[in-house]
């Protein structure tokens, strides 16, 4: 909606005030990518036969690397929400 001032005949258009800037959305997408990759790294390692044990479940990738990647993704998400661009 255009707003007119009583003293002038010019119209002013409202400024688009979004909650986040372009950098925030890029950081949110990067954080989301980290989280998705972390959960993909955690998947798998099951056994076809329920009577046999597959030690692949306890690999370093699933126990250590994947949770760290997910945690980094959540930290990036928090930073993306808190980050204020310098405009």
Give average pLDDT by consecutive 10-residue segment, the chain, 87 residues: 59 73 94 97 84 86 95 97 84
Domain range for 39: 18-82
- Domain count of the chain? 1
Rounded to an integer, what distance in angstroms lies between the CA atom of residue 5 and that of residue 27? 39
The confidence score (pLDDT) of residue 33 equals: 98
Residue 41 in domain = yes
Asked if residue 22 belongs to a domain, the reply is: yes
pLDDT at 44: 82
Q: Is 0.85 surpassed by the pTM of this model?
A: no
> Burial of 22 by CB count in 10 Å (0-12 exposed, 13-18 middle, 19+ buried)?
exposed
Question: What residues have CB less than 8 Å from 3, skipping those under 6 apart?
Answer: 11, 12, 13, 14
Q: Is residue 74 part of a domain?
A: yes
Q: How confident is the model at residue 85, as a pLDDT?
A: 79
Residue 47 maps to a domain: yes
Q: Note whether 31 and 38 are within 8 A (CB).
A: no
The confidence score (pLDDT) of residue 25 equals: 94
Inside any domain, residue 55: yes
Is 45 domain-assigned? yes
73 in a structural domain = yes
């Amino acid at each position: 909606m255009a707003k007119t001032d009583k003293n002038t005949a010019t119209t002013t258009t409202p400024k688009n005030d979004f909650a986040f800037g372009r950098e925030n959305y890029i950081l949110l997408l990067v954080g989301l990518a980290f989280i998705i990759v972390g959960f993909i790294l955690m998947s798998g390692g099951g056994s076809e036969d329920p009577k046999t044990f597959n030690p692949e479940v306890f690999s370093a990738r699933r126990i250590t690397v994947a949770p760290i990647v997910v945690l980094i993704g959540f930290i990036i998400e928090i930073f993306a929400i808190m980050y204020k661009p310098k405009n």
